[in-house]
Amino acid sequence: MKIIDNINVFGDSLSKGIVLDDDSKKYKISDNNAVDVFSRNMPVSVKNYSRFGCTTDKAVKIADGVFNNGLENDLFLVEFGGNDCDFNWDIVAENPTNKDIKPSVSLEQFKVNTQTIIDKLRKLGKRIAIMSLPPIDANKYFKWISKGDKQRAANILQFLGDVNFIYRHQELYAVAFKQIAIDNNIPVVPVRETLLDIHKLSDYICEDGIHLNEQGQAVVESVFENTYLQYHPETK
């Protein structure tokens, strides 16, 4: 296998390395985010084109600008789904009986968009890997979107049916994302699988229930390294 010297990361806030600051409750890029630490530890050049809040709808629109930037990179690591599956919780809280409220990007459109991104990369002759979607903590996220408002929490719960619907709904996108990789014979970087094997996973997830904290970022970085070393054992 040809040695990978350059990697581009194309995804959302999870691959960007965004964490929630415990004190300010504001989002920031971790100084020890997985992508940056990996690039420091491994003999490979890494550029991160991930964007906070990016869905696959947005990714398809900006893909040509990212993919045609004139750089000769060996591989694109793609990660999406977390924002696609999310709902507008203000609308949900105001209309809890409306089961027709849709997520940011429907599951079917998410599949189409993901395939479009893959097709664009392959047309340019780029190599691709997919990072499986990290799991979320439904209880933490429910508390986060409820904003300490009991009535808002009750309305959102009425829409959901049960809190764990949040996890199950996100898993639909995670499963679809991985299946598309398999169908296209694309390597999967097993971030989700590794995190799911951790006891008390909530300790690795921020208060908002969706972003990985510093501990979680360290796990992702170890997955990146292990995956890279599988293909380049000579770098051990």
* pLDDT at residue 73 greater than cutoff 70: no
Q: Calculate the average pLDDT of the chain.
A: 94
Considering the domain boundaries, does residue 77 fall inside one? Answer: yes
- At 72, the pLDDT band (50, 70, 90 cuts) reads low
Considering the domain boundaries, does residue 215 fall inside one? Answer: yes
Considering the domain boundaries, does residue 164 fall inside one? Answer: yes
* pLDDT at residue 111 greater than cutoff 60: yes
Measuring CA to CA, how many Å separate 218 from each of 17, 31, 35, 46, 75?
A: 10, 11, 10, 17, 22
* pLDDT at residue 118 greater than cutoff 70: yes
In this structure, are residues 57 and 142 in contact, taking their beta carbons and an 8 Å threshold? no
Considering the domain boundaries, does residue 41 fall inside one? Answer: yes
Considering the domain boundaries, does residue 1 fall inside one? Answer: no
More confident residue, 28 or 70: 28
Question: What distance lies between CA 100 and its chain's CA centroid?
Answer: 25
What CATH number did the domain enclosing 27 receive? 3.40.50.1110
Distance CA 11, CA 13 (A): 7
* pLDDT at residue 234 greater than cutoff 90: no
Tens digits of residue pLDDT in 179-212: 999 999 999 999 999 999 999 999 999 999 999 9
Distance CA 12, CA 10 (A): 7
* pLDDT at residue 1 greater than cutoff 60: no
Report the predicted TM-score, pTM, of the whole model to 2 decimal places. Answer: 0.95
Q: Please state, for a pLDDT cut of 70, what percent of the chain lies above it.
A: 96
Mean pLDDT value across residues 35-57: 95
Range of the domain at 36: 6-235
Tens digits of residue pLDDT in 156-165: 999 999 999 9
Task: Indicate the DSSP class of residue 203.
Answer: G
Distance CA 228, CA 138 (A): 31
Distance CA 42, CA 180 (A): 28
Considering the domain boundaries, does residue 134 fall inside one? Answer: yes
Question: What distance lies between CA 167 and its chain's CA centroid?
Answer: 14
Tens digits of residue pLDDT in 138-159: 999 999 999 999 999 999 999 9
Tell me phi and psi for residue 5, to 5 degrees.
-100, -25
Q: Which residue has the tokens 């690795």?
A: 204
